[in-house]
Amino acid sequence: MITKPLSHWCLGLVSLTIAGLIAGCHTSAPTATNPSPPVSGDAAAVESTSLEEAFATINEIQKQPVWVQRLNTKDEVPAQENMDLQVGETIRTEKEALVQVELKNGLSFRIGGNSVLTLQPDNRLKLKAGEMITWVEPGKKVPVEIETPVAIAGIRGTTIYINMPEDPKKEIEFFAWEGSVEVWFPNQPGKCQFKAGEQVKIKPGQTDINQVRQQVRQLPPREWLKRRRQSKLLNKFDKPLPTLQKIDDTAPSES
């Protein structure tokens, strides 16, 4: 009479034990976390540009002081040769400083004293002050845009010189050492194209591209040769400009 109730009691105890083990398994399982949001195409493109296309290196400093403003900071650090640069970082020079920067894609530039330049995505450079010479490694056709306060200059396999006077009311000079250059105004149709040995100066506030075309000027031979001899950006670096032979091939004759 006692055996049957006892067997029922044992069966119930076993059932409770199994149920507890199952509940324990569910409790110890890791809870699912929300997946990270996918990176948008634009964000991925910016990241790719920052880390690959516009990666740059300071490969020569002739005179100091040269400063670099790193990303996400207002502080500047002293520039050094072989220092790596990223998109969004700014280079600033003082006094007679000279520095050369080379991008991985074949684009390079030099800036002179009292200059400020920011690296931007998509092969764009923003010159905020001073003077610069920009070129593309021979054999490469890298499209480059240089933004200034008055206009944008576009080059492709060309060597261009840009000079911004310290007085913001004065004209900014664009000069083609070799190849051809285009300048245009942001958000406006039309471009002004000029070639090796030609110069155009654009005033702040000027917006008529037809007027700019009329301002293109061919440098006289004597003036061209004087500039060639005296240019610090051409002559004061250890390594010659890779496009120097192309420049000299365009030298005008004084006769």
Sequence ranges of the domains in the chain: 57-249
Residue 115, pLDDT > 70, answer yes
For 246, residues 6+ apart whose C-beta sits below 8 A from its C-beta are 138, 159, 178, 179
What mean pLDDT, rounded, does the chain reach? 83
Residue 177 predicted with pLDDT over 60:
yes
Higher pLDDT, 235 or 9: 235
The confidence band for 11, taking pLDDT boundaries of 50, 70 and 90, is: very low
pLDDT of residue 214: 98
Mean predicted confidence (pLDDT) in 36-46: 36
Spatial contact of 200 and 183, defined as CB atoms under 8 Å apart:
yes
243 contacts 159 by C-beta, under 8 angstroms: yes
Q: What is the pLDDT of residue 146?
A: 98
Give the list of residues 6+ apart from residue 109 with CB closer than 8 angstroms, or none.
Answer: 100, 101, 117, 125, 132, 133, 134, 135
CB atoms within 10 A of CB 151: 24
pTM of structure: 0.78
- pLDDT of res. 255: 63
The mean pLDDT of 84-105, rounded to a whole number, is: 96
CATH class of 57-249: mainly beta
Give the lowest-confidence range in 143-147, 155-159, 192-196, 237-241.
155-159
